[in-house]
């Protein structure tokens, strides 16, 4: 952008020495002092240490939706919002999840020392029968000799559905499947509607031993799968509302979101305790700042289960509330030391009010933020209801994404601070009480030029 201005001025044959290189964006008043004065009211108060401390506490335990870990995070977030003086709502909702129940295996009365893994499906049964090896479980391989028996099958070549169906068609009462060539572990397998026989997965090593054993002896097998099936679980959204200044209320709503749940077993320091810390920090510093816009600070549950919490919330909004909502800012993974630069993603890859404000705030705080196309987070349900929404995230991603290594030590206070400053400055640009006169105000920042970035994740 600086280059563009420069070239233009040169072509016009003017003296350029007084054009500062920092006078960046097109149409953007090159008055940095005024711009900073515009933002300072909020962004000067942002404290990265406080944010880091939230992440430290939240990432002590996994926060998988529907677990005690999530519930504790929810209580922590609610208490924080309330301590800043906000009315805070917990919005519970249910989602369905498969639960493996318990399974057990024994061979000739001796309990299996390995750990059988229940196939995803819905079963509650115990069977005892001889074990019968049925190869890969193709229809050609499976004969009537599996009738009344528990079929031992090797994984591979055919679908789980076909394998289970082929042995059931020939009268098998249970399935033990061992892993395929070059595949480790025993976490695999699905049964489908109507395939309600007990089925478990074991390692390749354990399976090959059984194949050997069956060559010399009959192996009477007891296979038990108890209470495997889909169960209802409860997760929560946490919503803190800041009312607009009574005399200046313009009727508009701005939403600032993140998700507090993590993947199973993951500390989720960056995904997305970082976003929660940013939402909490913005809520804290805005608590006593008058606005002409209603602000809703929120953290969603069950994002990792398919954006369940944000769909629940967005679909619970009345059309009237949707019409009044002018922007939704989503912060997800905003603090990784090992990720790339900040980018704003919209589900359709088009600019909107949120990206316009984010790009301009970026130019004031650090540098212009580019935009790209991506769903995969809680901005999607808002976008689908017609609300301008964008995801603020760093790309390319860090290698720790969704792993147990997504821990506090990988969090950069600089990244946290910069992202929160940019989003805070963008939010404050629409929420500060001097709109609609804002565009005419002396210090009001103008739009900037920013580009589509097809950056890899």
User: Which positions touch ligand BES (CB under 6 A)?
Assistant: 271-272, 303-304, 306-307, 332-333, 374, 376-377, 393, 397, 457
Peptide bond into 272 cis (omega under 30): yes
* CB 339 to ligand BES: min, Å: 10
In terms of CB distance, is 70 or 272 closer to Zn ion?
A: 272
Tell me the helices (H) and strands (E) count for the chain, helix number first. 12, 15
Nearest approach in angstroms of CB 418 to ligand BES is 18
Cα 367 to chain centroid distance, Å, stands at: 26
Cβ 66 to ligand BES, closest distance in Å? 14
Count of residues interacting with Zn ion (CB under 5 A): 3
**Shortest Cβ distance from residue 25 to Zn ion (Å)?**
30
Kind of pairing between the strands at 220-242 and 123-133: antiparallel
Residue closer to ligand BES, measured from CB, 25 or 393: 393
Is residue 406 a contact residue for Zn ion (CB under 5 A)? no
429 vs 445: CA distance, rounded Å: 9
CB 358 within 8 A of CB 292: no
Asked if 35 interacts with Zn ion (CB under 5 A), we say: no
Instruction: Give the side-chain half-sphere CA count within 13 A for 395.
Output: 19
Smaller CB distance to ligand BES: residue 35 or 304? 304
CB of 71 to Zn ion, least distance (A): 19
CA angle (336, 338, 342) in 5-degree steps: 60
Out of ligand BES, Zn ion, none, which partner does residue 307 contact, by CB within 5 to 8 A per kind? ligand BES
Which lies closer to Zn ion via its Cβ, residue 162 or residue 338? Answer: 338
Residue 370 interacts, among ligand BES, Zn ion, none and using kind-specific CB cut-offs from 5 to 8 Å, with none
Please identify, using beta-carbon distances, which residue of 125 and 457 lies nearer to ligand BES: 457
CA distance 298 to 276: 8
Q: Which residue is nearest to ligand BES (CB)?
A: 376
Q: Minimum CB separation from Zn ion for residue 303, in Å? A: 6
Kindly state the tokens that stand for 343: 């980018």
User: Which does residue 294 bind out of Zn ion, ligand BES, none, counting CB within 5 to 8 angstroms by kind?
Assistant: none
Binder to Zn ion among 272, 281, 294, 370 (CB under 5 A)? Answer: 272
Answer for which of 132, 271, 370, 406 binds Zn ion (CB under 5 A) is 271
SS3 227: strand
Binding string, 325-354, against Zn ion, x = CB under 5 A?
-------x----------------------
Q: How far apart are CA 342 and CA 394, in angstroms?
A: 4
Query: How is residue 317 written in tokens?
Result: 């909004």
Q: Which residues pair with 298 in a beta bridge?
A: 239, 257
Task: With CA atoms as reference, report the closest residue to 198 among 227, 169, 218, 178.
Answer: 227
User: Is residue 221 within a helix (H) or strand (E), and if so which, with residue range?
Assistant: strand 220-242
Nearer CB in complex with ligand BES: 287/457 = 457
Listed ranges 191-199, 215-223, 265-273, 402-410: which one lies at the site for Zn ion (CB under 5 A): 265-273
The residue (of 103 and 336) whose beta carbon lies closer to Zn ion is 336
**Shortest spacing between CB 331 and Zn ion, in angstroms:** 10
Q: How far is the CB of 378 from ligand BES (least distance, A)?
A: 8
| Choice between 310 and 435, CB closer to Zn ion | 310
Provide, rounded to whole angstroms, the least separation between the CB of residue 393 and ligand BES: 6
Q: How many CB atoms lie within 10 A of CB 364?
A: 25
Read off the tokens for 17. Answer: 């020495």
Determine phi and psi for 154, rounding to 5 degrees: -95, 140
Instruction: CB nearer to ligand BES: give 123 or 339.
Output: 339
Phi–psi pair at 276, nearest 5 degrees: -65, -40
Q: Give the C-alpha distances (Å, rounded to integers) separating 184 from 206, 280, 427.
A: 11, 42, 49
Q: Give yes or no for residue 64 binding Zn ion (CB under 5 A).
A: no
Which residues make Cβ contacts (< 8 Å) with residue 374, sequence separation at least 6?
345, 346, 347, 391, 457
Footprint on this chain of Zn ion (rule: CB under 5 A): 271-272, 332
């Amino acid at each position: 952008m600086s280059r563009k201005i420069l070239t233009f001025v040169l072509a016009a044959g003017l003296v350029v020495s007084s054009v500062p290189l920092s006078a960046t964006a097109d149409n953007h008043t090159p008055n940095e002092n005024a711009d900073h004065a515009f933002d300072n009211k909020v962004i000067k108060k942002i404290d990265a240490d406080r944010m880091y401390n939230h992440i430290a506490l939240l990432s002590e335990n996994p926060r998988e939706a529907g677990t005690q870990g999530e519930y504790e995070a929810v209580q922590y977030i609610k208490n924080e919002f309330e301590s800043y003086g906000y009315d805070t709502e917990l919005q519970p909702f249910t989602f369905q999840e498969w639960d493996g129940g318990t399974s057990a295996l024994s061979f000739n009365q001796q309990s299996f020392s390995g750990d059988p893994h229940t196939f995803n499906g819905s079963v509650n049964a115990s069977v005892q029968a001889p074990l019968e090896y049925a190869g890969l479980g193709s229809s050609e391989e499976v004969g009537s000799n599996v009738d009344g028996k528990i079929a031992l099958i090797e994984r591979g070549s055919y679908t789980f559905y076909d394998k289970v169906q082929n042995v059931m068609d020939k009268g098998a009462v249970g399935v033990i499947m061992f892993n395929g060539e070059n595949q480790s572990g025993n976490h695999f397998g699905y049964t489908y509607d109507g395939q309600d026989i007990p089925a478990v997965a074991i390692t390749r090593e354990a399976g090959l031993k059984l194949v050997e054993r069956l060559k010399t002896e009959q192996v009477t097998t007891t296979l038990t799968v108890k209470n495997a099936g889909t169960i209802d679980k409860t997760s929560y959204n946490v919503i803190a509302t800041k009312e607009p200044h009574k005399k200046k209320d313009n009727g508009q709503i701005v939403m600032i979101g993140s998700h507090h749940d993590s993947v199973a077993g993951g500390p989720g320091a960056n995904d997305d305790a970082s976003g929660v810390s940013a939402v909490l920090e913005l809520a804290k510093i805005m608590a006593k700042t008058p606005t002409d816009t209603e602000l809703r600070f929120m953290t969603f549950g069950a994002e990792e289960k398919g954006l369940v919490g944000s769909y629940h919330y967005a679909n619970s909004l009345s059309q009237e509330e949707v019409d009044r909502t002018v922007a939704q800012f989503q912060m997800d993974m905003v603090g990784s030391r090992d990720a790339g630069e900040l980018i704003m993603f919209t589900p359709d890859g088009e600019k909107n009010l949120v990206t316009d404000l984010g790009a301009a705030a970026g130019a004031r705080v650090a540098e212009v933020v580019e935009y790209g196309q991506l769903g995969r987070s809680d901005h999607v349900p808002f976008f689908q209801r017609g609300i301008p929404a964008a995801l603020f995230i760093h790309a390319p991603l860090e290698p720790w994404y969704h792993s147990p290594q997504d821990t506090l030590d990988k969090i950069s206070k600089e990244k946290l601070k910069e992202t929160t400053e940019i989003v805070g400055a963008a939010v404050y640009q629409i929420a500060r009480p001097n709109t609609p006169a804002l565009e005419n105000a002396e210090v009001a920042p103008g739009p900037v030029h920013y580009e589509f970035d097809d950056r890899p994740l």
